[in-house]
Amino acid sequence: MSLRTRILTLVAGFVAMTLVVMLLGLSTISDYNRMMADYDRAAENAYRGERLNFLISSAVMESRGIYHSRTQADTDTYAGRLDRDLDMMEAEIKAWRHDGLGRFVAIEPKTRDFIATRRKLSEIARAGSVKDAEAIGDRTRQARMAFQADIERVVAETRNDMLATRAHAATYRNERAISFAFVTLLWIAVTAGLSLWLVSHFITREIDQAHTAAMAREKLLKALMESNTELERFAFVASHDMQEPVRMVNIYSQMVLEDYQGSLDERGRKYLRTISAAATRMQVMIRDLLGYSRMRNDPEEMAAVDLNTSMKQMRADLGRLIQDAGAEVESGPLPVVAGNALQIQRVLENLTANGIKYQPADHPAHISITAADAGERWQITVADNGIGIAPEHAATVFEPFRRLHSWEEYPGTGLGLSICRKIVERHGGTIWLESEPGRGTRVHFTLPKPQVRQQPHMVVAAA
Domain at 359, CATH number: 3.30.565.10
Predicted pLDDT at 459: 41
User: How confident is the model over 150-192, as pLDDT tens digits?
Assistant: 888 887 887 887 788 778 877 877 776 677 677 777 767 777 7
In whole angstroms, what is the distance from residue 417 CA to residue 438 CA?
Answer: 20
Is residue 64 included in any domain, yes or no?
yes
Kindly state whether residue 50 falls inside one of the protein's structural domains: yes
Residue range(s) defining the domain that contains residue 60: 3-293
**For residue 462, is it within any domain?**
no
How confident is the model at residue 205, as a pLDDT?
59
The residues that bridge with 304 in the sheet, in sequence order, are 338
Residues 123 and 54 in one domain: yes
* 457: in domain: no
Could you read off the pLDDT of 237-267 as tens digits, one per residue?
656 666 667 777 777 777 877 777 777 788 8
Contact 24, 179 (CB under 8 A): yes
Q: Is residue 388 part of a domain?
A: yes
Residue 269 falls within a domain, yes or no? yes
Which residue, 241, 260, 293, sits at the end of a domain? 293
For residue 55, what pLDDT is reported?
Answer: 84
Instruction: Mark whether 50 and 127 lie in a shared domain.
Output: yes
Are residues 114 and 236 both part of a single domain? Answer: yes
Measured CA to CA, the distance from residue 463 to residue 329 in angstroms comes to: 5
32 in any annotated domain: yes
SS (H, E, C) the chain: CCHHHHHHHHHHHHHHHHHHHHHHHHHHHHHHHHHHHHHHHHHHHHHHHHHHHHHHHHHHHHHHHHHHCCCHHHHHHHHHHHHHHHHHHHHHHHHHHHHCCHHHHHCHHHHHHHHHHHHHHHHHHHCCCHHHHHHHHHHCHHHHHHHHHHHHHHHHHHHHHHHHHHHHHHHHHHHHHHHHHHHHHHHHHHHHHHHHHHHHHCCCHHHHHHHHHHHHHHHHHHHHHHHHHHHHHHHHHHHHHHHHHHHHHHHHHHHHHHHCHHHCCHHHHHHHHHHHHHHHHHHHHHHHHHHHHHHHHCCCCCEEEEHHHHHHHHHHHCHHHHHHHCCEEEECCECEEEECHHHHHHHHHHHHHHHHHCCCCCCCCEEEEEEEEECCEEEEEEEECCCCCCHHHCCHHHCCCCCCCCCCCCCCCCCHHHHHHHHHHHCCCCEEEEECCCCCEEEEEEEECCCCCCCCECCCCCC
Q: What is the tens place of the pLDDT at every residue in 45-70? A: 777 777 878 888 888 888 888 888 88
Domain match, 167 and 45 both? yes
List Cβ<8 Å contacts ≥24 apart for 159-164: 159/42, 159/46, 161/38, 161/42, 161/45, 162/39, 162/42, 162/43, 162/46
Low-confidence ranges of the chain (pLDDT < 50): 98-99, 299, 454-463
Residues 257 and 163 in one domain: yes
Number of independent structural domains in the chain = 2
Are 70 and 125 contacting, i.e. CB atoms less than 8 angstroms apart? no
Asked whether residue 360 falls in the same domain as residue 406, the answer is yes
Do 224 and 366 belong together in one domain?
A: no
Residue where a domain stops, chosen among 293, 318, 333: 293
Please indicate, yes or no, whether residues 86 and 196 belong to a single structural domain of this protein: yes
C-alpha–C-alpha distance, residues 426 and 415, integer Å: 16
Identify the CA nearest to 397 among candidates 415, 422, 378.
Answer: 415
Same domain for 150 and 99: yes
Position 385 scores a pLDDT of 92
Tell me, yes or no, whether 12 and 98 share the same domain: yes
The per-residue pLDDT for 100 is: 52
Report pTM: 0.43
pLDDT at 163: 81
Residue 454 domain flag: no
- What is the rounded (10 degree) CA torsion for 49, 52, 53, 57? 170
Identify whether residues 180 and 55 lie together within a single domain: yes
Instruction: Answer with the one of 293, 328, 353 that is the final residue of a domain.
Output: 293
Same structural domain, 177 and 277:
yes
